[in-house]
Amino acid sequence: MERKEFRDLVSPEAAREAIASLPLEGGIDRVPLREARGRVLVSRLDAELDVPGFDRSSMDGYALRARDTFGVDEADPARLTVVDAVHAGEEPDVAVAAGEAVEISTGAVMPEGADAMVPVERTDLESADGADDQQPTVLIRTSVAPGDNVMFAGADVAAGERALGPGTRLTARDIGLLSALGIDEVPVRSHPRVGIISTGDELVRPGGAVDHRRGEIYDVNSYTIAAGVEEAGGEAVLYPHAGDEEAAMERVLREAAAECDLVLSSGSTSASAVDVIYRVIEEQGDLLLHGVSIKPGKPMLVGRLEGMTPEAGQDASQADEAGSAPSAYVGLPGYPVSAMMVFRTFVAPVIRQAAGLPEPETATVTGRLAREERSDQGRHRLAPVGLTTDGDGETLVYPVDKGSGATTSLADADGLIEIDADTDYLEAGTELEVTLFSPDTSPPTLFAVGEDDPTLNRLLDRLEHPRFLPIGTRPGLRRLRDGVPDVAVVAGPIEREIPGVDIGGWRREWGLVVPAGNPADVEGLAALVDRDLAFVNRTTDSGLRTSLGNTVAALANERGVDRHDITRAIEGFDIGLRAHESPPRTVAAGDADAALGLRSTAEYLGLEFVPLGEQPVRLVAAADRLEKPGVVELEATLRSPDGGSNDTS
């Protein structure tokens, strides 16, 4: 298969212009009022009646003629005859004459002849003397002017008045106004329909079973991009995965184009021989660009795609294409971080525009770069970053990019920074503007990095809003020296001086995790050296790996050989996995005879454990952050009776 070379990479500005030129126009829906919240009006709505439609009492009391109260006060009240009573929802059948009053409820129609009302608190009712035909009287102890305590017809909204204008995004307040006007259906912008297609034979939707031996992975992009589409005001439509075969890919793409205003695919956009989606767009539509000078997102596609709806049993190539209008098309990169960064930056704005939604209020913060950052020169870069605060409460910015294939690069980030194509180095302390992913984003109360551990996880669960990056003991200490985190979690023997203040910790038992029943009868490290057993190690950044290295050195000394003779004899020693559960899970899957791990992990997975020793886990705080509320909370929780200080996991 011929390999496709990238065309000349266009600038980010040119990519925005190309996407803005796509045929993505919002239509009109008429929706019932109960479904209108959050929708955007397409035309002005005017009041067709007065609200209220009658003069009404503002409170409980007595309706009367204001002139009958002129000059009265507490010491010299007016005495009026109560001729009737009017309650809300009733039509008055009495007219108020001079010297008369009508008892009235809040919201009731003012009777004819009455031009004011007095609240009941400023009156005293006098009972009749016992005669059946004698009416009660009321003492009015305050004077009122015409209109006092009365809401006249149209005082809220007058007939013919402009109620809501086009472009209004309807809120609960607006729904209340429209309800008062008797409007039960409103014209709103249609949600643009956005078809979402993930490409790749290796993808499995979440909830299904993956076969790691075939390289299968869960589809991250479909649901993630769908959530982004709906946040931007679109209607997300998920389509089946498109495999890497061109005819099948064309079929699902053109089906989506026939049914949607915009088609978003992810994956199959690069220049490799199996990435063929650009050929479908070139042959069945109009490819406007292929490749943008940006990182991540270089292999983005933008174009228009002709849609068709194949009949049952009919091949897509035989379907009737007459009258099929082209749909807007954007091809996103396959890696989740790249896909979402490109979507947020380039695609979400045009969906919002089609839906009639304003750009969200710009949410940015300014902070200092916590450590130096290098960038590839020549391409504009979008870099996910996290936020924390130093001991003085000033905002620090730190990169969290683990690569485009790591989904946690976005989950651990608070926003992004843009680095222009001519910048290849940012020194620590550089002031940066961060565009937040959400206006309500705030730094975590505690930012910790270092060794992952089951006891630590339970401890973090009890804190208010922590963030922990499991990068290992050695990188954790390096970050602490650089002044980035509040706390570093370190495990095992530490040869160097710790750059911080030890605020407590616990001990954990480590060793070899083997299958249930220990079928290979592993008794210690020597079994891995002397027998043909498959072993799974931890990475060199792990505290467990350090303790294992010391045990290897001790065994080598005991046998009078070089430590490398020991490590070379252990199958798999040099291949390490990052997370503390990953090696034991390899044993649980039947793919290894032993793994480096913790007793607590073995018990949790129902495996056997061969102890090799204990090691300390210490929480080390930056010296200038001991008074930071999150650090104070962590230390208090650690020292509580059910904290982790005495844990021996």
Q: What is the pLDDT of residue 309?
A: 55
Which string of DSSP letters, residue by residue, matches 111-161? PBT--EEEEGGGEEEE---S-TTPPPEEEE-S---TTTTEE-TTSSB-TT-
pTM score:
0.73
Higher pLDDT, 519 or 321: 519
CA–CA dist 359, 349 (Å, integer): 7
In this model, does residue 6 exceed pLDDT 60? no
Please report, for residues 201, 288, 453, 579, 618, the alpha-carbon distance to residue 328 in angstroms, rounded to integers and kept in the order given. Answer: 25, 11, 48, 42, 55
What is the phi/psi pair of residue 264, to 5°? -115, 120
CA 269 from chain centre, in angstroms, equals 26
Average pLDDT over residues 482-488: 93
Q: Is the pLDDT of residue 329 over 70?
A: yes
pLDDT above 70: residue 499:
yes
**How far is the C-alpha of 382 from the C-alpha of 366, rounded, in Å?**
16
Q: pLDDT-derived band of residue 313, with 50, 70 and 90 as boundaries?
A: very low
Closest by Cα among 66, 58, 107 to 86: 107
Task: Say what the pLDDT of residue 321 is.
Answer: 43
Give 495's pLDDT tier (boundaries 50, 70, 90).
confident
| pLDDT over threshold 90, residue 298 | no
* Span(s) in the chain for CATH 3.90.105.10: 28-52+156-189
Intervals of CATH 2.170.190.11 along the chain:
56-151
Say yes or no to pLDDT of 10 above 90.
Answer: no
Is the pLDDT at 4 greater than 60, yes or no? no
pLDDT at 649 over 80: no
Q: How confident is the model at residue 299 (pLDDT cuts 50, 70, 90)?
A: confident
Q: Tell me which of 13-17, 35-39, 155-159, 426-430 is least confident.
A: 155-159
Radius of gyration (C-alpha) of the chain in whole angstroms: 36
pLDDT tens by residue, 15-68: 999 998 888 876 889 999 999 998 899 888 888 887 888 999 999 999 999 999
> What percentage of the chain reaches a pLDDT higher than 90?
54
Q: Which CATH number fits domain 367-442: 3.20.20.100, 2.40.340.10, 2.60.40.10, 3.40.50.2020?
A: 2.40.340.10
More confident residue, 315 or 577: 577
Q: Which of 356-360, 402-406, 517-521, 641-645 has the lowest mean pLDDT?
A: 402-406
**pLDDT > 70? residue 239:** yes
Q: Please choose, from the candidates 475, 469, 340, 331, the residue with its C-alpha nearest in 3D space to the C-alpha of residue 404.
A: 340
What pLDDT, on the 0 to 100 scale, is given for residue 211? 84
Tell me the average pLDDT across 590-615.
96
CATH of span 56-151? 2.170.190.11
**Would you identify the CATH topology of the domain 12-25+192-311+323-355?**
Molybdenum Cofactor Biosythetic Enzyme; Chain A (3.40.980)
pLDDT of residue 320: 43
Is 486 within 8 Å of 625 (Cβ atoms)? Answer: yes
Q: List, by residue range, all CATH 2.40.340.10 domains of the chain.
A: 367-442
In this prediction, residue 538 carries a pLDDT of: 95
CATH numeric code, 28-52+156-189 = 3.90.105.10
Q: List all residues 6 or more positions away from 271 whose beta carbon is below 8 Å from its beta carbon.
A: 3, 4, 5, 6, 299
Residue in 636, 319, 592, 366 with CA at minimum distance from that of residue 503: 636
Residue-level pLDDT at 561: 95
Q: What is the pLDDT of residue 494?
A: 79
User: Tens of pLDDT along 364-407?
Assistant: 889 999 988 887 667 888 888 999 998 888 999 998 866 555 56
Give the C-alpha separation, 155 to 157, whole Å.
6
The pLDDT assigned to 451 comes to 94
Cα dist from 118 to 43, 89, 105, 156, 340, whole Å:
43, 20, 11, 21, 63
Start-to-end Cα distance in the chain = 55
Q: What is the pLDDT of residue 503?
A: 95
Domain boundaries for CATH 3.40.190.290 within the chain: 468-639
Mean of per-residue pLDDT scores for the chain: 87
Q: Quote the CA–CA distance of 507 and 616 in Å, as a whole number.
A: 4
Tell me what pLDDT residue 92 has. 94
Q: Residue 442's pLDDT band (boundaries 50, 70, 90)? A: confident
CATH topology of domain 468-639: D-Maltodextrin-Binding Protein; domain 2 (3.40.190)
In the chain, CATH 3.40.980.10 covers: 12-25+192-311+323-355
What pLDDT shows up at residue 408? 62
- Residue 642, number of CB atoms within 10 A of its CB: 10
